[in-house]
Amino acid sequence: MAFSSRRGTAWSASSSLPSSNPKSKAPRKGRKRALVKDFVLANFFTIGLALSLSLFLLILLRFGVPKPITTPFRTRSSRARKPLARRPLLLGAAGDNRSALVGTAVDVTTKALYDKIEFLDVDGGAWKQGWSVTYRGNEWDAEKLKVFVVPHSHNDPGWKLTVEEYYDRQSRHILETIVQTLTKDSRRKFIWEEMSYLERWWRDASDETKESFINLVKNGQLEIVGGGWVMNDEANSHYYAIIEQIAEGNMWLNDNIGFVPKNSWAIDPFGYSSTMAYLLRRMGFDNMLIQRTHYELKKELAWHKNLEYIWRQSWDAEETTDIFVHMMPFYSYDIPHTCGPEPAICCQFDFARMQGFVYEQCPWGQYPVETTQENVQERALKLLDQYRKKSTLYRTNTLLVPLGDDFRYINVEEAEAQFRNYQMLFDYINSNPSLNAEAKFGTLEDYFLTLREEAERINYSSPGEIGSGLVEGFPSLSGDFFTYADRQQDYWSGYYVSRPFFKAVDRVLEQTLRATEMMVALILGCCRRSQCEKFAMGFSYKLTAARRNLALFQHHDGVTGTAKDHVVMDYGMRMHTSLLDLQIFMSKAVEPLLGIRYEKLDHSPSQFEPAIVRSKYDAQPLHKVISIHDGSYQSVVFFNPLEQTREEVVMVVVDSPDVTVVDSNWSCVQGQILPELRYHNSKIFTGKHRLYWKVSVPAMGLETYYISNGFVECEKARPARLKIFPKSSLVACPTPYSCVKIEADVAEIENQHQKLTFDVKYGLLQKVVSKNSSPNIVNEEIGMYSSSGGAYLFKPNGDAQPIIEEGGQLLVSEGPLMQEVYSYPRTAWEKAPISHSTRVSSGESTVQGFVIEKEYHVELLGHDFNDRELIVRYKTDIDNKKIFYSDLNGFQMSRRETYDKIPLQGNYYPMPSLAFIQGSNGRRFSVHSRQSLGVASLKNGWLEIMLDRRLVRDDGRGLGQGVMDNRVMNVVFHLTMEANISATSNLVSTPFPYSPSLLSHRVGSHLNYPLHAFVSKKPQEMSVKPPPRSFSPLAAPLPCDLHIVNFKVPKPLKFLQQPPEGSRFALILHRQHWDSSYCQKGRSQCTNLADDSVNLFSMFKNLTVLKAKATSLNLLHEDLEIMGFSEQFGDLAQEGHVAISPMEIQAYKLELKPQQSTHY
């Protein structure tokens, strides 16, 4: 975020006088340890020489003569780790109840912290959210205080300005300044995070400047931390996009500068996900730094010296996911809140706030002054006092002090002011041994290396602490850090929903990019014709741009919806441009994959176009209307981006009801037509028709269907029967449908598995009856909060009030393939802010057959809805005790509990893709979403999801505006109701999250990775029938719990430059863990599960895998220990075996070549 405030320094200025509260650091060494130290110092050279020779001989005997090191950078330090075996971490043997993964044993869980903390918001004095920190003075006698001051500049790739505006006005100047000022003095250090800006600057920088930059990285003065394209949000971002954005940045960095980051720096995301810790560990990162966690949690962790800990995944009983974390202790990452607990003093050491600079003055009334020989003693001791106080909050005597803020170090004068003054202060501290302190500029790597070295020498473990074999002396922790509060009752749960239209576009771009990556890989793998290679490689620039536009939007002011209006527009237009590019490529890629043609692919028009198009960046997607004259047909090709064969009912829009559907063999396929609807209270029919039929599309493959007019061998698509409520409705019956207007209290639709009952007066769902099961109450309610929040904060004024009144329009459509209830409700406003459809599809054994589809059309437009937040609430009869489960980044579930001791807004949580409630009898109600939103369970049996929010005011976090740029949008949920077939444990006493069922995983995959449809641009005459056209690249569908996260060519531009024997393809697999007590439905159409062996060498039908190699998720490491894996895993991978434990994501580099038998 940008300078001077998401910070609220003025708020901190109102701190009252310090109150006393003893929290001091205990002495760390006894007398014996001091004597040992004296002996070692006296015989240092002799001992060192003997140890060195012994170690050298031992290495030679064990490993032989080492190979020369080729990297110009300092290598990753080796650290002893406990040998870790890998096995599936499940309860019971195969076939037993596997409803939960083995819970990990840790010292701290975030649930336990929430249970313990009273959330009383006690004023702590100078450190307002803490206490009056004191120390005795002898804490550093045996082990001196080692202070690393880390200069940094936080560069938002879009917030108040667009990324390009920020680059031009600030970021490029900052990078120039860093190179100039660090080159002058080797003692100066700096860290940089965002590759989006570095790549942009790299294009402009001179060769000389680039060389200087690389040299600074080589000699350790400049460290790239994180190295993602952006510093991503962790609440709304999907794990696919997180992997992509980090890999995009890391690979660019490695290619251009030869550096691979190992320390993550995330000072500004608004809450933290344990998914991020997992992904970073599997990318080879060693350490993380985080900042924005609930201030009461910070206080509790600081009190027990637990701000540095080992973050472990809740399912990991083997410590393979462990990663070291440093949590910053105070309110903000700016200089007043980083040197120590007293911001009024720390602000005096922000020398960029001296007179003559552009930054705001310190709000506490005491200002920084130039350091001179006359005042250096007084200033140094004042600063050292803060360092010492901050040090008492941590276990070791190694201290991290960030020195920066948003868009800092913008010119040489500012940078020199900081470096010059701090160096004088350091020189004074370091020249006085009696102070027992050493202070200097450092990088994160300097800090973490020194801390780990100290932790190896001195045991900091608390009695009985579980800790970790990774770094001893620190507690282990599991859980996540949502929902963030920075002060008082200000919970940052609003951004889970802000700008929901673009949160939806984000996911559309994600699934379109993933499908395109697959197509590029399949074309380059299967079709080694020069025309295919030229076509795919010619798209490389636009493919890279799409990766980077998706990556850019993962920024913590992008997908969060917390940027200014014109910046949101810039993000939206970038994503829209890439969506169009990807769709054009996919439309053409269909041709070589189906064997239609190979010539001139790169510069001739496509024969196909996407069935769904967007006219502009903020417009709703529209179905292309297929027009077919008598005696002709149109081709519709479907691409299935999933790993299993897919059978489902699909829909296209046609202009005539007289149509017939046939498959690629010209066999008849049953079709059904429904009138196309518009969202209106009376003129609800457009005159067009929705055509439904059931398709079967091979895994990762293509299938062709034909829609014909006049094909007499087959029956025409059947019109649905329409029921219109109420009888007095003015809606006219469209041709060729049969309509009946009736009065009734309830309406019903059903399929083979369930019957849905609706309250006709309100048009809302009432009840779901699963066949052969007791009824489930699901009372749908649509309501609104009155609110005073903004883009970040949700600040409701009381509870949400229902907005639906009696007397709306209801249209029921019944047919053999699809049944639908459309409701245009009556509200207090002439134009309702919401209308909605509920659908069930036919399917005896399909995933779709178990799903209830809810589609909400939201128009929160105009002043009538100012300071309103729109929700849907499902009030069930499930006894969930206000405990529910929501996903983290589409990767794992987190247990949530509604606490009375925190306000309503603090009980809202992110819901990127799934939330469910479960009763003690095992009944489970799940809501799957295709975009990120916010969710809560405020009363027993309730599940509430926020759909949109419109807020007039700024909420005081620096944005300077409300959220008023709402767009018309559709929100789609897939609901499932499941019954447990085995006993469940107590909801309240079970701290670990339940997993989704196998059905739930598959429902989520179908919703988030839909079929892609392409329609031929020109109709063909019936007399010309093409041969059957399909494409099926897999030898067999993959197991139903094995998901292909991505199958791609990481460097398509360099595809032909790399040797064919190189590993030019990447495959990333995720083995999902599922709750087997719900197994029956989920197994429908599953040929196998990942318990069965999968071999990469036999995975493809027409492709030979020549080589397989395990790699990190950023595709940069092949040393498996770095990622937490055993050598055995690497050996299995080289043999092609996919040996993945549930929950794990693993990446492979592959080399492929077409088999001779292929039709290419």
First to last CA, the chain: 52
Beta carbons of 212 and 257 less than 8 angstroms apart: no
Q: Is 374 exposed, middle or buried (0-12, 13-18, 19+ CB in 10 A)?
A: exposed
Residue 750 phi, psi (nearest 5) = -160, 160
Residue 1088: both structure tokens together: 């196998």
- CA 1148 vs. chain centroid, Å, equals 21
Beta carbons of 895 and 991 less than 8 angstroms apart: yes
Q: Among residues 268, 406, 490, 965, which one is catalytic?
A: 268
The C-alpha atoms of residue 417 and residue 351 are separated, in whole angstroms, by: 6
* Residue in the structure block whose two tokens are 């929501």: 886
The C-alpha atoms of residue 253 and residue 245 are separated, in whole angstroms, by: 12
- CA 785 vs. chain centroid, Å, equals 27
Residue 1080: both structure tokens together: 């029956």
* Residue in the structure block whose two tokens are 């444990």: 985
C-alpha distances in Å from residue 1105, one per residue of 89, 626, 1051, 1100, 1114:
30, 41, 18, 8, 21
Residue type, 1006: H
The C-alpha atoms of residue 1051 and residue 1010 are separated, in whole angstroms, by: 26
For residue 483, whether the previous peptide bond is cis, meaning omega lies within 30 degrees of 0, is yes
Q: Is 1153 exposed, middle or buried (0-12, 13-18, 19+ CB in 10 A)?
A: middle
In the annotation, is 877 catalytic? no
Q: Is 253 exposed, middle or buried (0-12, 13-18, 19+ CB in 10 A)?
A: buried
The radius of gyration of the chain from alpha carbons, rounded to an integer in Å, stands at 31
DSSP states of 758-782: EETTTTEEEEEEETTS-EEEEEEEE
The C-alpha atoms of residue 351 and residue 369 are separated, in whole angstroms, by: 7
Residue 875 phi, psi (nearest 5) = -105, 100
* Residue in the structure block whose two tokens are 């609930």: 294
Strands (E), 542-631: 608-610, 612-613, 622-623, 625-626
DSSP states of 914-982: EEEEE-TT--EEEEEESS-EEEE--STTEEEEEEEEEB-S--SSS--S-B-----EEEEEEEEEE--SS
C-alpha distances in Å from residue 821, one per residue of 625, 751, 989, 1020:
23, 13, 40, 36
Q: In sequence order, which ranges of 1009-1089 are alpha helices (DSSP H)?
A: 1079-1082
The C-alpha atoms of residue 1109 and residue 1132 are separated, in whole angstroms, by: 9
Residue 254: both structure tokens together: 């490695």
Beta carbons of 654 and 691 less than 8 angstroms apart: yes
The C-alpha atoms of residue 692 and residue 703 are separated, in whole angstroms, by: 16
Helix (H, G, I), strand (E, B) or coil at 1056: coil
Q: Is 96 exposed, middle or buried (0-12, 13-18, 19+ CB in 10 A)?
A: exposed
The C-alpha atoms of residue 1033 and residue 1100 are separated, in whole angstroms, by: 6
Q: Cβ neighbours of residue 789 under 8 Å, at least 6 residues apart?
A: 494, 795, 796, 869, 905, 949, 951, 953, 955
Query: What are the catalytic residues?
Result: 268
